[in-house]
Amino acid sequence: MTKALSIVGSSRSNGEREKDDFYPTPSYAVDKLLKREVFNGNIWECACGEGDISEVFLKNGFEVRSSDLIDRNYGTVENFFEADYVADNIVTNPPFKYALEFVNEAKKKSNGKIAMFLKTVFLESEKRKPMFEDKEFPLKTVYQFSKRVTLYKDGVKMKNSGMIAYAWYVWEKGYCGKPTIEWI
């Protein structure tokens, strides 16, 4: 596999991305978020995959609703965009190709905070700018990883290491002030 294929997020020699954008979040990345951010109330992990994020929150005593469009033998099979549920907090690693749509939908379905594990380049884009300018449910903090986090296609560990920069983006309903950036 070439370095270029690793950079674009491929874990296979054919360079194809996982069909449903399934790249599980390492538990240590979730632990790092919980050391920095306080969540009150329940958690909805709406793209739960195999439960990597959900399990960390459960181990920390949270009530967690886990769902995903794809059945991976964890949580409820449910389309986040069609679900009729509102949570205190939504925490997820959404499919990157639908990240903006997930953030916008989460703002309708969360009463408190939203935390999304996203590429750092999510900050760039004219299309996303209005979402970042939202005053009702504004971006509060970006927790940028100093060391690259390695995500593996389908969760299958390969020899490659992280070539993409990731961060936790946290929105908080009613937050007043400018967004801050902190490093993990």
Nearest-CA neighbor of 119 among 155, 94, 84? 94
Q: What are phi and psi of 142, to 5 degrees?
A: -115, 120
Confidence of residue 149 (pLDDT cuts 50, 70, 90): confident
Confidence of residue 134 (pLDDT cuts 50, 70, 90): very high
Report the run of H or E that residue 7 belongs to, with start and end.
helix 3-7
Q: What is the pLDDT of residues 38-75, one digit of tens each?
A: 999 999 999 999 999 999 999 999 999 999 999 999 99
CA distance 160 to 87: 36
pLDDT at 164: 87
Domains of the chain, CATH where assigned: 3-183 (3.40.50.150)
* Token output for 78: 């449910």
Fill in the DSSP letter of residue 150.
P
Q: Which residue has the tokens 């909805």?
A: 44
Q: What is the pTM of this model?
A: 0.86
Fill in the DSSP letter of residue 102.
H
Chain-centroid distance, C-alpha 130: 20
